[in-house]
Amino acid sequence: MTEAKKDAPWLFRTYAGHSTAKASNALYRTNLAKGQTGLSVAFDLPTQTGYDSDHELSRGEVGKVGVPVNHLGDMRALFDQIPLEQMNTSMTINATAPWLLALYIAVAEEQGADVSKLQGTVQNDIIKEYLSRGTYICPPKPSLRMITDVAAYTQKHLPKWNPMNVCSYHLQEAGATPEQELAFALATACAVLDDLKGKVAPEDFPNMVGRISFFVNAGIRFVTEMCKMRAFVDLWDEILLDRYGITDAKYRRFRYGVQVNSLGLTEQQPENNVYRILIEMLAVTLSKKARARAVQLPAWNEALGLPRPWDQQWSLRMQQILAYETDLLEYGDLFDGNPAVDAKVAALKQGAREELAQIDAMGGAVASIEYMKGRLVEANAERIARIEGNETVVVGVNRWTEAAPSPLTAGDGAIMVVDEAAERDQIERLTQWRATRDEAAVKAALTTLREACADGRNVMPASIAAAKAGATTGEWGATVRAAFGQYRGPTGVSKNRSNRTEGLDPIREAVSAVSSRLGRQLKFLVGKPGLDGHSNGAEQIAARARDCGMDIHYDGIRLTPAEIVAAAAEQEAHVVGLSILSGSHLPLIAETMERMKAAGLGDIPVVVGGIIPEDDAAKLRAMGVAAIYTPKDFELNRIMLDIVALVDPTPVAAE
């Protein structure tokens, strides 16, 4: 009896990068030696948003959520002893995708690689950045242009490269329903394809369509998530055939990679996250028809802080066990013909089509950014309300909360901490790089880039030339900002109260009473200092405060401490709330508190939210922070009452 022929497994990736290019390179080579079959590069926030490591906004953010790459020397160090011609590299980069791809090409050429053989992906999806992640630089239209510039360039020069990874991952993290996740991602893809049609020859367009891939999220509702992926397959095929006339079925394949849900990882009883990650991985691997091409899994302790190499190894082993120890890959699709699955897929497709029709009627994805953002904020508010009301059970959070202490989180070193010296080291090497390069060559290359932006030429050749000349990430970013302008995306937080009233009446009464004693409406300023674009928490706090009757001021992401303090003075805020999830809370909040005192605002209570270890929380309290909230504090109504108590000029004495 012959053994059944197995399908090839998906690519095993670990999303990784931290501190410095040299440290990240060592991590990559270790992971490859452990059996990882592709690289997935995480860049730090300054790199993602087009700033050098020594920029004012970069303070505290260097090397925190990924690797800093300021110039060709950093990219060279990042891939030292890793032959790029043989590697499949995914770079999770959006606004600066043209620049990072230019650096990658330059390093590959230095290695002697045949650039036409390079394989990998740049995410290069700016639209979801306006909706959910916040690392945009320019307004939507020029951003769309740069997306398709990258795609058109790869068509000619990097035929095996995926020039765009339409990313619905962060949409789900921002609260999207499955129907919204389907529709918003597909609308983004349509916007890109519509623009790309004018940049490639008609005979090359089908092949170009076939290079577009997706990056999705898989949540805990296993059946729904698996059906969502089958719906994605069907809808993409339908759109490409009907809207774009792609007749060759191979170009209509829905190609996607996945990172399973990080939104649902809990700070409480974090060991339970191992089971969550496994179940979520099954949703994107069990159905052959809708199986991911690449899978990367979060570590069980990401809600606590930066995972260690061992934690990432544990997630990698989960994939290897499923692929190599089980018989999954020996069978066809396990769900074909299942009536429950077919019905759910049909319902999801119908809901997505209705949402797509609404977006099309508004002029497409770019024209609908404000609409989509508002929909996401509202959907996320409903999700949180279901958890608060115990309608959605989260084990260890709102049910079965009593548990023995986890030995996995005990002792020093339970999470990885980025060495504070790494930022200084990075800045010193950046300074040295600038001092030893040919300034005239850099200036000429950046002038050419600015001209290309202005006259409509593809930005890739000029970006590659600038990379080789020694330009920096911040200089590339400043050039495109000068050419296209800066942009501040919609917050999605309406000034109008929502219809949600459950549990709010007592809080509204308390807000009204305190406002009377203050002599005006309680003013709550919500701020996002630094480059962290994860704004979901800040949006939900602002929206709930609004619904409770507070006068809110929320300007969105990417503010300096100086700007936040100036706004607190101008708005005459009674309380300031700061949200930071990138791990840069200590330096940014220290600066904010110092500036508050210097401005005579030291008596205004400051509350802070983020992924904050207890040791850091103690340091923040010592700085004068009045209250600290982490992901375990999911009851927003309790937070609202805390805020009222903080600003009440005549607190009620304890009985």
Q: How far apart are CA 66 and CA 574, in angstroms?
A: 36
Sorted by sequence, the CB contacts under 8 Å of residue 368 that are 6+ apart come out as 187, 358, 359, 362
- Dig out the tokens for 531 from the structure: 């480059």
Catalytic residue among 532, 547, 551, 616: 532
Q: How far apart are CA 572 and CA 521, in angstroms?
A: 11
Catalytic residue among 344, 528, 553, 585: 528
- Do 469 and 438 meet the contact criterion of CB atoms below 8 Å apart? yes
- Dig out the tokens for 494 from the structure: 């309406």
420-452 CB burial, b ≥16 within 10 A, e <16: eebbebbbebbeebbeebeeeebeebbebbbeb
In this structure, what are the phi and psi dihedrals at residue 497, rounded to the nearest 5 degrees?
-60, 150
Catalytic residue among 15, 130, 136, 629: 15
- Dig out the tokens for 286 from the structure: 């069990």
DSSP-derived letter for residue 258 is E
- Dig out the tokens for 377 from the structure: 């904020």
Catalytic residue among 169, 256, 554, 629: 169
Q: How far apart are CA 221 and CA 158, in angstroms?
A: 38
Q: How far apart are CA 31 and CA 81, in angstroms?
A: 14
In this structure, what are the phi and psi dihedrals at residue 463, rounded to the nearest 5 degrees?
-65, -40
Q: How far apart are CA 379 and CA 359, in angstroms?
A: 17
Q: How far is CA 479 from the centre of its chain?
A: 24
Q: How far apart are CA 539 and CA 306, in angstroms?
A: 24
- Dig out the tokens for 146 from the structure: 């740069």
- How far is CA 272 from each of CA 267, 395, 652, rounded to the nearest angstrom? 10, 8, 41
15 part of the active site: yes
Sorted by sequence, the CB contacts under 8 Å of residue 584 that are 6+ apart come out as 59, 60, 61, 64, 530, 532
3-class SS of residue 647 = helix
Residue 506, CB half-sphere, CA atoms under 13 Å: how many?
6
DSSP-derived letter for residue 130 is I
Of 358, 432, 377, the C-alpha closest to 131 is 377
476-496 CB burial, b ≥16 within 10 A, e <16: bbbbbeebbeeeebebbbeee
Q: How far apart are CA 89 and CA 257, in angstroms?
A: 12
% helix, strand, coil for the chain, step of 5: 50, 10, 35
Q: Residue type at 145?
A: R
333 part of the active site: no
Of 262, 439, 235, the C-alpha closest to 354 is 235
169 part of the active site: yes
- Do 580 and 528 meet the contact criterion of CB atoms below 8 Å apart? yes
Catalytic residue among 55, 64, 71, 170: 170
Catalytic residue among 64, 523, 534, 553: 534
3-class SS of residue 343 = helix
Q: How many CB atoms lie within 10 A of CB 651?
A: 11
528 part of the active site: yes
Residue 481, CB half-sphere, CA atoms under 13 Å: how many?
15
- Do 560 and 56 meet the contact criterion of CB atoms below 8 Å apart? yes
The conformational region for residue 433 under phi > 0 = left, psi -120 to 50 = alpha, else beta, is alpha
Q: How far apart are CA 356 and CA 179, in angstroms?
A: 10
Q: Which residues are catalytic?
A: 15, 169-170, 528, 532, 534
